[in-house]
Amino acid sequence: MSLEKILSIAGKPGLYQLKTQTRTGILAESLIDGKKITVSARQNVSLLSEIAIYTLTEEVPLRTVFEKIAEKENGGQTISHKSSKDELEEYFFNVLPDYDEDRVYPSDIKKVVQWYNLLHKQGITDFSVKEGDASEEE
């Protein structure tokens, strides 16, 4: 499963897999408990493949950040998202040294770490761009 099918839904915990589109929105399945939910087209939904992290020079796709975390952890899980703000910031600085500290908040770092661990737990560890995927490296 690629990041093109993984969703973050505002107001809902965890991540969701896009199952299908409906007339009024989408059908998604929770990666945490497997429950299916219908999401209205009015709700704020983000594809992980479309999210980027601000650095001092550019915006780095989330998949690249996940690859750097996986490289740092040798493919294993990372620190807990419940770690202290300082620990999370220090960890993220080691992963992405030039991240923009003014625009990337501790809550953003917490989400990235939590999402990485959730994806890892689900066996989703290949974050590279596939041949058939939409090109984000333009």
Sequence spans of domains, the chain = 3-48, 51-121
CB 26 within 8 A of CB 45: yes
Mean pLDDT computed over 45-62: 94
CB 70 within 8 A of CB 42: no
Q: What CATH number matches the domain at 51-121, 3.40.190.10, 1.10.730.10, 1.10.10.1650, 3.30.70.1400?
A: 1.10.10.1650
pLDDT tens for 90-127 read 999 999 999 999 999 999 999 999 999 999 998 888 88
CB 116 within 8 A of CB 108: no
Q: What CATH number matches the domain at 3-48, 1.20.1300, 1.10.3470, 1.20.120, 2.30.30?
A: 2.30.30
Sorted by sequence, the CB contacts under 8 Å of residue 123 that are 6+ apart come out as none
pTM of the model: 0.86
